[in-house]
């Protein structure tokens, strides 16, 4: 099925939103091998604060992608649901794309951020900016 536009209620837009949060895909990928406790998950991921990890896990649980399993007292582990597992293949494909094309994207960003000279890519020169008034 082809979409002319991604409307507010479009299912594809819902999926894009799920993966657009910075940590969602990282947390899902870190849970791929089975249940993990919060502290271990944070160590496994690295660079994520306890608060942000907790918010991410709650968001993923809200969306039915992660299950929070209490196991006596304060022990809690997180694991992917069946629905969460269905996102592993797209996340893997996206990672493969990034591995293959990441250098090209970073080069494009570098070119864009270089000071503009006439006829070069980068910040638009005055004649390419257009007029707003």
Kind and range of the H or E element at 106?
helix 88-113
CB 88 within 8 A of CB 66: no
- The pLDDT of residue 2 is 60
Percent of the chain with pLDDT strictly greater than 70:
81
d(CA 38, CA 120): 49
- The pLDDT of residue 130 is 43
From the list 52, 42, 47, 46, the residue with the least C-alpha distance to 78 is 42
pLDDT digits (tens, 9 = 90+) for 82-130: 999 999 999 999 999 999 999 999 999 999 999 877 665 555 544 444 4
- The pLDDT of residue 127 is 44
Task: Note the pTM of the prediction, 2 decimals.
Answer: 0.76
- The pLDDT of residue 124 is 54
CATH topology for 23-113 is Arc Repressor Mutant, subunit A (1.10.10)
């Amino acid at each position: 099925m082809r979409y002319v536009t991604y409307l507010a209620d479009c299912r594809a837009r819902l999926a894009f939103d799920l993966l657009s949060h910075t940590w969602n895909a990282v947390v899902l990928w870190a849970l791929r091998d089975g249940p993990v406790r919060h502290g271990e998950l944070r160590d496994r991921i690295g660079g994520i604060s306890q608060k942000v990890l907790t918010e991410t896990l709650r968001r993923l649980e809200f969306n039915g992608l992660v299950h929070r399993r209490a196991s006596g007292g304060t022990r809690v582990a997180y694991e992917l649901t069946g629905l969460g597992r269905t996102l592993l293949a797209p996340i893997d494909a996206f990672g493969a794309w990034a591995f293959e094309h990441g250098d090209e994207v970073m080069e494009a960003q570098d070119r864009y951020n270089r000071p503009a000279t006439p006829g070069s890519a980068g910040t638009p020169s005055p004649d390419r900016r257009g007029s707003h008034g």
